[in-house]
Amino acid sequence: MESNEKIQILSDLIQFDSRNGNERPVAEYLKALFEKHGIEAEILPLASDPDHRANLVAHVGTGKPVIAFTGHMDVVDFDRSQWATDPLQLTMDGDKMFGRGVSDMKSGLAAAAIALIDIKEKEIPFDGTLRFLATAGEEVGMAGSTALQAAGYMDDVDALIVGEPTGYNTSFANKGELNITLSAKGKAAHSSTPQLGINAIQELMDVWADIKTKLDERSQKDTNQYLGQDVYNIDVINGGSQPNILPATAEAQLNVRTVPEFDNEAVLAIIDQAIADFNANHKGEVSREVTMEIIPIEGDLHSKLIQKMQAIAKAAVGKDIKAIAAPGGTDASKLLVDHPIGFPMAVFGPGNFLTAHQNNEECSKDMYLKFIDMYTELFTTVSTEY
């Protein structure tokens, strides 16, 4: 495949408006692209919205080992007025390519798809099966990867490659994440007579102070050598209607990033105990709801997969390639829910993570084209290690 066609495929993907959903047109495009080149692919609609949301699965080869690649088709939202270019058009400026999702992560998706096509058309020999998993909803909720894991598409996988943007590095671990809504119920009263009411905002502040103290104590003790310690923030808070009314309700949204040593279950246990203690000694009531959860993943730093990635990338760019741990989550947290520690998993993909989710998101054209070649070599050689 010529370079201009490789760029055109990425350009086509950028033009699909798959902001936080509507991934099915992307899946249909990929299915048609694969089938044009003799690769069977299947669209798997999501039960929640089958007309607009879907995963895609494609295979090249048969038997064991099974090497899986995963990449997501959705992108985050954007404000056109804050972009120097049209975010739904691939715009070139020298080596730089601009567009929403060009780094996170339609360049990785396109590069892997083209690599599979090259392997198929050139009849490059390899052992086993290459499985391509294009997911819906990674940016919000990870519904796509959850569905693929539940349907058994990871049951026979021997190694997993995640195409999120790492540049010329690779990542083998990521933190887990919890989004938790804390809700407080009090009693409204005139602000001049607060003794007649229950201030829901104050309740929320008090219980959060206790939660934070307990989280601080545990997180400083139970750290991970690669990922560090848990971090947590109140990112949204709502309550009250006007200055002269004691607020009857209040709500805060808490985001927690977890490590294996102080994982999601342990964090929730501390929060639940703090809430129970608070409710037992106060007239108001505080509750919590988990609105999103992914677990921390720690792959094998010394796996043959990472060693192969490092060797291929070093040959391509002439420098040593780092294996790092990442604070953000990926679909691996859902796909590897049964194998969170020690599985041969690595994140390796084109793009600039620092511009992901930002205005004027960009990716190097040279890096994108190099990754197609690196994926082709990786997909056809790593299977010999498993």
**What are the pLDDT digits (tens) for 251-305?**
999 999 999 999 999 999 999 999 999 999 999 999 999 999 999 999 999 999 9
For Cα atoms 50, 46, 18, give the angle at the middle one, nearest 5 degrees: 80
**Among residues 23, 104, 138, 164, which one is catalytic?**
138
The band of 245, judged by pLDDT with boundaries at 50, 70 and 90, is: very high
Q: Cα-flanking dihedrals φ and ψ of residue 27, to 5°?
A: -60, -40
Q: What kind of fold does domain 3-174+296-385 have according to CATH?
A: Aminopeptidase (3.40.630)
How many Cα neighbours within 13 Å face the side chain of 247? 19
Mean pLDDT of all residues in 158-182: 96
Single-letter code of the amino acid located at 191: S
Task: Pick one of 3.30.300.30, 3.40.50.300, 2.60.120.1440, 3.30.70.360 as the CATH number of 177-294.
Answer: 3.30.70.360
Its pTM stands at 0.91
- At 18-30, the pLDDT tens digits run 998 899 999 999 9
Quote the percentage of the chain above a pLDDT of 70: 100
Structure tokens at 139: 């940016």
**Residue 39: what pLDDT?**
98
Q: Which of 172, 347, 348, 182 is nearest to 260 (CA)?
A: 172
- At 268-281, the pLDDT tens digits run 999 999 999 999 99
Q: Distance between CA atoms of 126 and 121, rounded to whole angstroms?
A: 13
Active-site residue, 138 included: yes
The band of 35, judged by pLDDT with boundaries at 50, 70 and 90, is: very high
User: What radius of gyration do the chain's Cα atoms show?
Assistant: 23
* Whether the predicted pLDDT of 326 surpasses 90: no
Mean pLDDT of all residues in 139-151: 95
Mean pLDDT of all residues in 45-61: 97
Q: Distance between CA atoms of 317 and 188, rounded to whole angstroms?
A: 64
Question: Is the torsion defined by CA of 369, 332, 232, 75 positive or negative?
Answer: positive
Ramachandran quadrant class, 278 (left: phi over 0; alpha: psi -120 to 50; beta: rest): alpha
Mean pLDDT rounded to a whole number for the chain: 96
What are the sequence ranges of the domains in the chain?
3-174+296-385, 177-294
**Among residues 23, 74, 203, 298, which one is catalytic?**
74
State the SS3 of the chain: CCHHHHHHHHHHHHHCCCECCCCHHHHHHHHHHHHHCCCCEEEEECCCCCCCCEEEEEEEECCCCEEEEEEECCECCCCHHHCCCCCCCCEEECCEEECCCCCCCHHHHHHHHHHHHHHHHHCCCCCCEEEEEEECCCCCCCHHHHHHHHCCCCCCCCEEEECCCCCCCEEEEECEEEEEEEEEECECEECCCHHHCECHHHHHHHHHHHHHHHHHHHHHHCCECCCECCEEEEEEEEECCCCCEECCEEEEEEEEEEECCECHHHHHHHHHHHHHHHHHCCCCEEEEEEEEEECCEECCCCCHHHHHHHHHHHHHHCCCCCEEEECCCCCHHHHCCCCCECCCEEECCCCCHHHCCCCCCEEEHHHHHHHHHHHHHHHHHHHHHC
Active-site residue, 121 included: no
DSSP bridge partners of 231: 257
The band of 50, judged by pLDDT with boundaries at 50, 70 and 90, is: very high
How far apart, in Å, are the Cα atoms of 360 and each of 9, 89, 99, 119, 355? Answer: 20, 11, 7, 33, 7
- At 328-386, the pLDDT tens digits run 889 999 999 999 999 999 999 999 878 888 999 999 999 999 999 999 999 999 988 88
Question: Is the torsion defined by CA of 17, 22, 26, 28 positive or negative?
Answer: negative
Q: Distance between CA atoms of 56 and 37, rounded to whole angstroms?
A: 16
For Cα atoms 137, 303, 386, give the angle at the middle one, nearest 5 degrees: 90
